[in-house]
Structure 1
Amino acid sequence: MEKILETAYAKINLGLDVLGKRPDGYHEVRMVMQSIGLSDAVELEESEVLVVETDNGGLAGGPGNLAWKAATLLAERCGKIPNVHIRLKKKIFLAAGLAGGSSDAAAVLRGLNRLWQLGLQVTELETLAAELGSDIPFCIAGGTALAEGRGELLRKLPEAPSLTLVLAKPKLEVSTGWVYGNFRQEQVAQRPDIDGIIKALEQGAVAPLLASCGNVLESVTIPAYPVIAQIKERMLAAGSEYALMSGSGPTVFAVAKDEKESKQILAALTDLDLETAVTTTVKKERI
């Protein structure tokens, strides 16, 4: 029996700006999103019924899982019965601001496109993905992209320079809905320069890129969870050139010059109760 293997890459936000509230209740965003090497392995093969199996006890595999929803949606649209066994081998931290669930769902859409020989193009998969969640369209191909609207309007950008990243997530879960619901423009002290990020990517320049980064959602999440600020401070004191919360949090990523500096950063965090990983930026999927 054929088995399809897909890699579901996590993402970080190099820049995340919120422009305002939309009539549909979502927020209008302008973000630069970046795939990173921390990833889940997704296996798919034909089965008698739809099954989503995970190796993480904190993540249910039933109908509430985005991978299940992705399989169901694609089957409905393509006249298929979703008799497939999906195995999620988790490495991406849960509820972390790294799009772990979204990336798994995107991997399921890509994998079933192959398994069922549907021949759908990237743009068709992205359109379907937008019905499931705002980050999922980006996760179809990943890489480096500008995301606008509620996150579903994508423009591919030049690949980011290779960066070594240290990730740290405190043992807490942050509701994305709660963060956006409590966002207030007047509380934002510093906004990212999204156009500056794009220009730096076009030039392949790391220093201007980092100088333009930022995340307005820190204005909500950090006051509620001060440990995030503590993590950032420790990372910077250990030598990192830049540290930022990803998405709605609580994961923080730090840019390290090399392996030695990444170890210094990790050492500075050892007394905090964290999930950590060292990874790099990655390029987009070739679909």
Structure 2
Amino acid sequence: MIIYEKAPAKINLMLDVLHKRNDGFHEVEMVMTMVDLADRLTLQETETNRITLSSQSGYIPLDDKNLAVRAARLLRQRFGIQRGVHMVLEKRIPVAAGLAGGSSDAAAALRGLNRLWELGLSISELEELGAELGSDVPFCVSGGTALATGRGEKLEKIPSPPHSWVILAKPPINVSTADVYGNLKAAEIQQHPSASAMQAALEQGSFTDVCGTLGNVLEDVTLKLYPGVARLKQVMESLGADGVLMSGSGPTVFGLVNKEEKARRICNGLRGFCEEVYAVRTLG
């Protein structure tokens, strides 16, 4: 039996950090949605009891450092599974890009192995398991659009943004999420984006209001550490994207556009500045 799972990328329409918690994590408030740029995970049961992973990408670990492998090990240990699996990961989402590629791969592994091993787990149960692997994994399990609180694992489903084009541009640098949060001084944040305003814009289905309420408090940190990200954001704004924001801890910058012709034009304008550029759609 062979199982196929898509693992879409996510973007943060807004990301706020409220304070640092006693457990070392940060209390966050985020609105996340998925876009039509996805990895593909193929899972096939093997005659051995080993968990193995292969990929065409030379930029990802294939051992226990990979979240998809850790997801498989978590399920096996938690439910006493003795069967093995080989996973083939076709990477399309840029690595270390702020697009939750690794978290989405782990979520795809949880969903796929739930089917392959006939565990009968509900989405909410898979989300709980995902929270043990990473803060973005629960959202990636169920997808759609959500308001995420806590450290990102508490989810409230909200309306998805109006169908639009999303230009994703990743500069040739990798950003450490731990470094960004380590340099963030939550108590000194002057301006907080509004989750309620973003939620209202989504409920009204207003593309203009969604663009007007984009916000990410991590930008101040990442843009200072990596000036190239600030420059990329300026270039995308100058090319006419309707709303521009850094996703997650970066370095990927995305632009929202409601017309395909403009999206193609902005992509062409960015290609001389940045090699990894994608024009994709929002996923409802």
Q: TM-score category by the smaller chain?
A: over 0.9
Q: Which secondary structure does the structure 2 equivalent of 1:269 belong to? A: helix
Instruction: Decide which moves more: 178-187 or 54-63.
Output: 178-187
Distance, in Å, in 2 between the alignment partners of 1:191 and 1:90 is: 34
Distance, in Å, in 2 between the alignment partners of 1:111 and 1:136 is: 14
One-letter amino acid matched to 1:53: S
Tell me, yes or no, if the aligned pair for 2:20 and 2:186 is still in contact at 8 Å: no
TM-score with structure 2 setting the length: 0.96
Structure 2 unmatched runs, 5+: none
Aligned length: 282
Report what 1:31 is aligned to. Answer: 30
Tell me, yes or no, if the aligned pair for 2:159 and 2:202 is still in contact at 8 Å: yes
Distance, in Å, in 2 between the alignment partners of 1:115 and 1:102 is: 20
2:260 aligned with 1:259:
yes
One-letter amino acid matched to 1:279: V
- 1:77-116 Cα deviation digits (max 9, x unpaired): 1110251001100000000000000000000000000111
Distance, in Å, in 1 between the alignment partners of 2:156 and 2:164 is: 21
Tell me, yes or no, if the aligned pair for 2:215 and 2:245 is still in contact at 8 Å: yes
Instruction: Decide which moves more: 267-276 or 256-265.
Output: 267-276
Tell me, yes or no, if the aligned pair for 1:187 and 1:219 is still in contact at 8 Å: no
Report what 2:41 is aligned to. Answer: 42
Which residues in structure 2 correspond to 1:63-212 (within 5 Å)?
Answer: 63-185=64-186, 188=189, 190-212=191-213
For residue 236 of structure 1, report the CA deviation from its aligned partner.
1.4
Q: Which secondary structure does the structure 2 equivalent of 1:268 belong to? A: helix
- Evaluate the alpha carbon distance shift between residue 59 and residue 82 of structure 1 in structure 2; reply closer, same or farther with a 3 A threshold: farther
For residue 159 of structure 1, report the CA deviation from its aligned partner.
2.0
Instruction: State the Cα RMSD in Å.
Output: 1.2
One-letter amino acid matched to 1:34: T
Q: Which runs of 4+ in 1 moved over 3 A?
A: 185-190
Tell me, yes or no, if the aligned pair for 1:109 and 1:125 is still in contact at 8 Å: yes
Identity of paired residues, percent?
A: 49
Tell me, yes or no, if the aligned pair for 2:271 and 2:277 is still in contact at 8 Å: no
Report what 1:58 is aligned to. Answer: 59
Tell me, yes or no, if the aligned pair for 2:98 and 2:248 is still in contact at 8 Å: yes
Tell me, yes or no, if the aligned pair for 1:35 and 1:282 is still in contact at 8 Å: yes
Report what 1:248 is aligned to. Answer: 249
- Evaluate the alpha carbon distance shift between residue 101 and residue 54 of structure 1 in structure 2; reply closer, same or farther with a 3 A threshold: same
- 1:152-177 Cα deviation digits (max 9, x unpaired): 00111112211200000011110001
Report what 2:21 is aligned to. Answer: 22
One-letter amino acid matched to 2:197: G
- Evaluate the alpha carbon distance shift between residue 33 and residue 171 of structure 1 in structure 2; reply closer, same or farther with a 3 A threshold: same
For residue 226 of structure 1, report the CA deviation from its aligned partner.
1.2
One-letter amino acid matched to 2:251: P
One-letter amino acid matched to 1:38: L
- 1:236-266 Cα deviation digits (max 9, x unpaired): 1111111100000000000122221112212
- 1:116-142 Cα deviation digits (max 9, x unpaired): 111100110000000000000000011
TM-score with structure 1 setting the length: 0.95
Report what 1:12 is aligned to. Answer: 11
